[in-house]
Amino acid sequence: MPDNKNERHRTSRIGWLRAAVLGANDGILSTSSLVLGVAAAHATHSSVVVAGVAGLVAGAMSMAAGEYVSVHSQADTEKADLKIERAELKTDDKGEHKELAAIYVARGLDPALAKQVAQQLMAHDAIGAHARDELGISEASRARPIQAALASAGSFAVGAVMPLLVATIASPARVIPFVAGSSLLFLALLGGLAARAGGAGVLVGALRVTFWGALAMAVTAGVGSLFGTVV
C-alpha cells in the first residue's frame, strides 16, 4: 500500500508559485520589451542599458507594492470573515453546527453522519472547520502579503537581469536580435518550468508564454521604431 505521508500535492505551491512565475515573466518581458523599444528608436547603447536598469528597479518595486496591496486586501477579507464567524459561533453555536452539517450533506454524506462529523470537527477546532469548509480558507491558500511581495520583487529582478545582461554584453548592432532571441528562450524555459511545477503540460506552458512574449516585444519594438523615426 502507498504511504500517504509521502504524497506531495501541488496546492501548497499556489501562493509562491503564482507570485514567482508572474514576477519572473514580467521581469523578462517588460525589461526586454523596454530595451527593444529604446534600441529600435535608435538610442545609444548606453541609453539602452540605462533604460533596462531603470526598468528593472522600477518594475521590481512596482511588483512588490502591487502584490503586497492586493494580497493584503485578500488577507483583510479573510480576517473580517473569520471575525464574523467567531461571533456567530459565540451567539449561535447550535445554528453553526447545523450549518456545517448541511455543508457535509450537500457534499454527499448521510445526514446522521454529517451531524456527527460536524460535532467532532467543531469540538476539535470550530473556527478551523468553518474557515475551511464554509469559507474556503485553508493553510495552503491563506493570503501571505509579505511572502507574495518578496517573491514577486525577487523573481522580477531575476527575470529582468537576463535580458539586461544580454543587452549589456551584445554589440550595439546586435542588441535587438540577441535580446529578442534570448528573451524568448528564457520565457519558454520559464513557461515549461512553471507548468512542470504546477503539474500541467510543459510544451503547452512554454508555447503559451512564448507566444504572448513575442507579441508584446514585437509591438513595443514597433512603437519604438515608429517614434524613433518621427521624433
Domain segments of the chain as ranges: 17-172+217-230
Phi, psi of 167, rounded to the nearest 5 degrees = -65, -35
Q: How many other β-carbons are positioned within 10 Å of the β-carbon of residue 27?
A: 30
The residues, ordered by sequence, that sit 6+ positions from 25 with a Cβ below 8 Å of its Cβ are 159, 187, 190, 191, 209, 213
pLDDT tens figures, 186-222: 888 888 877 776 667 778 878 888 898 889 888 888 8
Distance between CA atoms of residues 146 and 208, nearest Å: 29
- Average pLDDT for residues 93-114, to the nearest whole number? 82
Highest mean pLDDT pick, 100-109, 169-178, 205-214, 216-225: 169-178
Decide: helix, strand or coil at residue 9: coil
Cβ burial of 139 (10 Å; 0-12, 13-18, 19+) is exposed
Q: Which three cell numbers stand for residue 126?
A: 470550530
Which is higher by pLDDT, 99 or 40? 40
Max intra-chain CA distance, the chain? 77
**pLDDT score recorded for residue 112:** 85
Distance, CA of 33 to chain centre: 20
Cβ burial of 129 (10 Å; 0-12, 13-18, 19+) is buried
pLDDT tens figures, 123-169: 887 777 777 777 776 665 566 788 878 888 888 999 999 999 999 99
pLDDT band at 177 (very low <50, low <70, confident <90, very high): very high
Q: Which of 25-34, 42-51, 190-199 has the lowest mean pLDDT?
A: 190-199
Task: Provide the phi-psi class of 171: left if phi over 0, else alpha when psi is between -120 and 50, else beta.
Answer: beta
CB 34 within 8 A of CB 51: yes
pLDDT tens figures, 47-90: 999 999 999 999 999 888 888 888 888 777 878 877 877 887 78
**pLDDT score recorded for residue 56:** 94
**pLDDT score recorded for residue 231:** 46
Angle at the Cα of 187 from the Cα atoms of 199 and 51, rounded to 5 degrees: 145
**pLDDT score recorded for residue 179:** 92
Cβ burial of 210 (10 Å; 0-12, 13-18, 19+) is buried
Which is higher by pLDDT, 200 or 5? 200
Assess whether pLDDT exceeds 70 at residue 6. Answer: no
